[in-house]
A and B are shown apart, each in its own frame.
Chain A
Amino acid sequence: MPRILTGNRLETGDVLWWNGADWSTRIKDAVAIGDEGAALLVTLIAAERINDPVLIDVTGEPGAYVPTTTRERVRASGPSVRADLARGSLSVEAI
């Protein structure tokens, strides 16, 4: 099962996903993380700029990854009860 890297930006609290080179606010930019994930996490934690960085399980294909847990799907879509605040790259229906 693919895994992607997510966390929250220190300054803003924004939900972020690792796109292979930088952080994106859209889950559809996320890339699957392979064996380099553990080392990447160590680096990110040490840098102290991203809060709660963690690898999460997803299903689907690149560009359309869907987290396996409801919690992470809500993080990716935005609150399911506020369509106006949706993030846009994962639909509320996917929750």
Chain B
Amino acid sequence: MYKYDQYDQAIVDARVREFKDQVGRRLRNEITEDQFKPLRLMNGLYLQLHAYMLRVAIPYGTLSGTQMRMLAHIARKYDRDYGHFTTRQNIQYNWIKLEQFSDLLDDLSKVEMHAFQTSGNCIRNISSDQFAGAAADEVADPRPYAELLRQWSTLHPEFSFLPRKFKIAVIASDTDRAAIQLHDIGLQLYRNAAGDLGFRVFVGGGMGRTPIIGKIIREWIPVSQFLSYSEAILRVYNRYGRRDNIYKARIKILVTELGIDAFRDQVEAEWALLEPLGLDAPQAEYDRIIAQFAEPDYDLSAPDTLDLSDPDFKLWVDQNVHVHKQPGYAIATISLKPKAGIPGDASSAQMDVIADLAEKYAHDEIRVTHSQNLVLAHVRKADLYAVWQALDAVDLATPNLDLVTDIIVCPGMDYCTLANARSIPIAQKIAAKFENDVAEQRDLGELKIKISGCINGCGHHHAGHIGILGVDKKGEEAYQLLLGGSGAEDASLAKILGPGFDENGIIAAVDKLIAFYKTARAAPEERFLDTYRRLGAAPFKEAVYG
């Protein structure tokens, strides 16, 4: 894992001092709320329905046991004993008090964490593959490059007031576990025929009000030049992105309006000016950062077998454990979608257990996934049973990864001031129909339901095999139903199936969809999404609306 150097820590310490001063001035009424609001938002502090909400950055979703234990401490001391892991691989706290905020920031900074650039029109937390460094299918660990992006984008003076927020994701395999085609910039690391590492660069993807799949702006950029190329993209966006209309301000609109070829021409022209200036990191800096993501000190004698005689353990392994590139090791996903739970929520006690397990069994690393789950990326197979037992004891061993109950959900109108409808209760009601029958869930196979409480799409409804969007219908909560989305390498955007529903109606509609799918799939292994793609919307629409 990356460890801060003196510059990283100095930046955080300076920013903490600055914001503590701003908080103090606000509390003493030396500045108005209108003056303070943009300052607090730039430090991840929102005012939501019930209290202040704080979003803490977790760069590329990687954190240590010590950091997780600090997140638990913050939940316990400053919040109401829980946190909510988000689709941006961050964590949010829902009950923060401004008067305690300075102490909170001090605590965070002790473990190399902070909250800036988790809001505002800047480059947000860089996201990545939760299996980075462990996946058997990656060409290299993508996180050193995500870390370079983090350092480059942190308080970047030119990009602190972009037309709109900007999200970047980095992966290093053909399997996309980070939805890179739905980001402002998506970077896919691969090797060319000569064996060199470089990136395929996607630009202009995104969800929200205007969902668009990113387009390839460059098929190949050497890793040694990807920072200056990213800078060129940001410069063109910063120069020409619209600032007159918040709904048309994302880079996806600029790319769409210009066309990818014209946009590419502008970026290439900008890059031709930038590249000779030496903005890219020197090789020594690449080497310094890559060294900090060195492979763990694997136990080369670790047995590559598992005792699966416990059927409950076997079920969890079958569903939540993935192949690791190192024989004798496995990748374990911790579901934050327990029965009757709130997707993405974890109590401080659960966070402490995960921290302990990471330190004892997983080379002190934890990952947050954009699906609001957690991952222990390097676990000896010989230790998996002990890990599972410890997780099971705190309700963290639900064997439902990528199944119908593994639902992505934004906080919705239970917490969020932007939301038009509640989303968590919808997820809970859908899950309740399946969560006591794991065999039924597994029979349905991969089925990704994603729910947003408003058009901003934090619940990724446009990338759901089944997407649900909460809307306001004359003051009442209503829900649109969408089908056919995917955030994976086969990216597609879900489309509205028909008229919307009330709360009970949307639950019944999902029931009908799933019942139809079971009769219509060509084979048991054909996914819901593939059945939809094969048959088209019409029979699904008929099944729901008659």
Assess whether B137 is interfacial by the CB under 8 Å rule.
no
Jot down 24 A-B pairs with beta carbons below 8 A, ordered by A. Answer: A8-B51, A10-B98, A11-B97, A11-B98, A11-B99, A13-B47, A13-B98, A14-B51, A48-B32, A48-B33, A68-B475, A70-B413, A71-B413, A71-B419, A74-B422, A75-B49, A78-B50, A79-B50, A80-B425, A81-B342, A81-B414, A81-B424, A81-B428, A82-B414
Q: Is there an interface contact between A12 and B97, defined as CB atoms closer than 8 Å?
A: yes
Across-interface contacts of A71 in B (CB, < 8 A): 49, 413, 417, 419
Rounded to whole Å, the gap between the CB of B2 and the closest CB of chain A is: 33
A44 to B97 Cα, complex, angstroms: 20
Q: Is there an interface contact between A13 and B414, defined as CB atoms closer than 8 Å?
A: no
The secondary-structure label for the interface of chain A is loop
Within 8 A of A (CB), among B1-49: 26-27, 29, 32-33, 47, 49
Q: Known: A13-B96, A80-B422, A85-B80. Contact between A8 and B413, CB under 8 A? A: no
Across-interface contacts of A89 in B (CB, < 8 A): none
The secondary-structure label for the interface of chain B is mixed
A82 to B425 Cα, complex, angstroms: 10
Which partner residue on chain A sits nearest B415 by CB separation? A79
Q: Is there an interface contact between B475 and A69, defined as CB atoms closer than 8 Å?
A: yes
Encode contact with A along B402-436: 1 for CB under 8 Å, 0 otherwise: 00000000000111010101101100100000000
Rounded to whole Å, the gap between the CB of B421 and the closest CB of chain A is: 8
Rounded to whole Å, the gap between the CB of A90 and the closest CB of chain B is: 13
Q: Select B26's contact among A10, A68, A81, beta carbons within 8 Å.
A: A10
Across-interface contacts of A51 in B (CB, < 8 A): 33, 47
Q: Known: A71-B413, A74-B49. Contact between A81 and B425, CB under 8 A? A: yes
Residue tally, chain A, CB below 8 Å to B: 23
Across-interface contacts of A11 in B (CB, < 8 A): 27, 97-99
Within 8 A of B (CB), among A31-87: 48-49, 51-52, 68-71, 74-75, 78-82, 85
Assess whether B161 is interfacial by the CB under 8 Å rule.
no
A69 to B417 Cα, complex, angstroms: 13
A70 to B50 Cα, complex, angstroms: 14
A11 to B476 Cα, complex, angstroms: 32
Across-interface contacts of B97 in A (CB, < 8 A): 11-13
Assess whether A15 is interfacial by the CB under 8 Å rule.
yes
Assess whether B240 is interfacial by the CB under 8 Å rule.
no
Q: Is there an interface contact between B422 and A13, defined as CB atoms closer than 8 Å?
A: no
Q: Known: A13-B96, A80-B425, A85-B80. Contact between A75 and B50, CB under 8 A? A: yes
Rounded to whole Å, the gap between the CB of B277 and the closest CB of chain A is: 45
A61 to B424 Cα, complex, angstroms: 31
* Interface size, B (range): 20 to 34
Assess whether B545 is interfacial by the CB under 8 Å rule.
no
A68 to B475 Cα, complex, angstroms: 8
A15 to B48 Cα, complex, angstroms: 10
A79 to B419 Cα, complex, angstroms: 13
A12 to B27 Cα, complex, angstroms: 11
Across-interface contacts of B32 in A (CB, < 8 A): 48
Which partner residue on chain A sits nearest B46 by CB separation? A13
Which partner residue on chain B sits nearest A11 by CB separation? B99
A94 to B177 Cα, complex, angstroms: 40
Assess whether B477 is interfacial by the CB under 8 Å rule.
yes
Within 8 A of A (CB), among B466-509: 475-477
Q: Is there an interface contact between A13 and B51, defined as CB atoms closer than 8 Å?
A: yes
Across-interface contacts of B49 in A (CB, < 8 A): 15, 71, 74-75
Assess whether B247 is interfacial by the CB under 8 Å rule.
no
Rounded to whole Å, the gap between the CB of B349 and the closest CB of chain A is: 15
Across-interface contacts of A81 in B (CB, < 8 A): 342, 414, 422, 424-425, 428
Which partner residue on chain B sits nearest A73 by CB separation? B413
Rounded to whole Å, the gap between the CB of B92 and the closest CB of chain A is: 13
Across-interface contacts of B52 in A (CB, < 8 A): 13
Which partner residue on chain B sits nearest A47 by CB separation? B29
Rounded to whole Å, the gap between the CB of B35 and the closest CB of chain A is: 10
Across-interface contacts of B424 in A (CB, < 8 A): 81
Across-interface contacts of B94 in A (CB, < 8 A): 79
Within 8 A of A (CB), among B80-133: 80, 94-99
Q: Select B47's contact among A52, A70, A80, A82, beta carbons within 8 Å.
A: A52
Identify which of A11, A52, A68 gathers the most chain B CB atoms within 10 Å of its CB. A11
Across-interface contacts of A74 in B (CB, < 8 A): 49, 413-414, 422
Which partner residue on chain A sits nearest B423 by CB separation? A81
A69 to B29 Cα, complex, angstroms: 32
Within 8 A of B (CB), among A1-34: 8, 10-15
